[in-house]
């Protein structure tokens, strides 16, 4: 299947418009940085300041060269990104960590579900992944979505992050695909 065939334009119709996904482009970098800088977002990521956000965004967008990053659009307006962190080692290539962020104006409206559904399909079809896993901080509202999509908790790391004097645990979840 060629790159054009990998672009997932399965449409879902909601009150806000049509949600589609496409392969991420380098030009999505500034949007990703802006979404990571939205109020409250850094509570759910291990990033601290603009330097760390820009570094993380470069890594996310850098994965686009492997066609392993998707951008969500509502009525052709970008509103979220999800990336597969592909493993370079053969013994680990069957599984993959992923990360996702959605613009605050589009949260709770199906964008995250669409991104993850298409990311799962991409991982299974293009990369022959068997397991997707994620790390999510205790209390993150996205945990419900992950459970609805079949992700199961397999571990918990207490006191993983310390933010403003408060410790937050990390939940490890996975799904066989």
Look up the CATH number of the domain holding residue 39. Answer: 3.40.630.30
**Structure-token match 């999505």, residue found:** 28
Domain-located, residue 157: no
What pLDDT, on a 0 to 100 scale, did the predictor assign at position 163? 87
Residue 18: which domain range?
Answer: 3-134
| Whole-angstrom distance, CA of residue 159 vs CA of residue 130 | 30
Burial 123-159 (b: 16+ CB within 10 A, else e): beebbebeebbbebbeebebbebbeeeebeeeeeeee
pLDDT score for 16:
57
Reading the block at residue 40, the tokens are 């409250």
* Count of structural domains within the chain: 1
- Residue 167 covered by a domain: no
Structure confidence by residue, pLDDT tens digits, 2-61: 444 433 333 333 355 899 999 999 999 999 999 999 998 988 998 999 999 999 999 999
Answer yes or no: is 143 within a domain: no
List, as one string, the DSSP characters of 12-45.
EEETTEEEEEEE--GGGHHHHHHHHTSTTGGGGS
Q: Average pLDDT, stretch 61-71?
A: 96
User: By C-alpha distance, which of 40, 10, 36, 29 is closest to 115?
Assistant: 10
The answer as to whether 174 is a domain residue is no
| Residue 148 is assigned to a structural domain of this protein | no
CA 121, CA 7: separation in Å to the nearest integer?
A: 11
Q: Establish if 146 belongs to a structural domain.
A: no
How do residues 89-148 score in pLDDT, each as one tens digit? 999 999 999 999 999 999 999 999 999 999 999 999 999 999 999 999 999 999 999 999
- In angstroms, rounded to a whole number, what is the distance separating the alpha carbons of residues 8 and 72? 10
Token pair 């418009």 in the structure block, residue: 17
Q: Is residue 140 part of a domain?
A: no
- Is position 10 within any domain? yes
Beta bridge partners of 135: 172
């Amino acid at each position: 299947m060629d790159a054009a065939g990998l672009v997932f334009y399965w449409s879902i119709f909601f009150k806000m418009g049509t949600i589609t996904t496409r392969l991420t482009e380098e030009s999505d970098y500034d949007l990703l940085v802006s979404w990571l800088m939205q109020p409250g977002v850094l509570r759910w990521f291990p990033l601290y300041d603009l330097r760390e956000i820009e570094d993380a965004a470069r890594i996310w967008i850098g994965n686009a060269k492997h066609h392993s990053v998707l951008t969500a659009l509502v009525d052709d307006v970008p509103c979220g990104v999800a990336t597969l962190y592909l493993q370079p080692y053969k013994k680990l290539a069957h599984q993959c960590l992923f990360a996702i962020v959605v613009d605050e104006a589009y949260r709770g409206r199906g964008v995250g579900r669409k991104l993850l559904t298409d990311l799962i399909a991409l991982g299974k079809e293009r990369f022959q992944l068997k397991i997707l896993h994620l790390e999510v901080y205790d209390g993150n509202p996205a945990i419900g979505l992950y459970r609805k999509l079949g992700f199961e908790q397999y571990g918990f790391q207490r006191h993983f992050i310390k933010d403003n004097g408060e410790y937050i645990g990390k939940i490890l979840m996975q799904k066989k695909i």
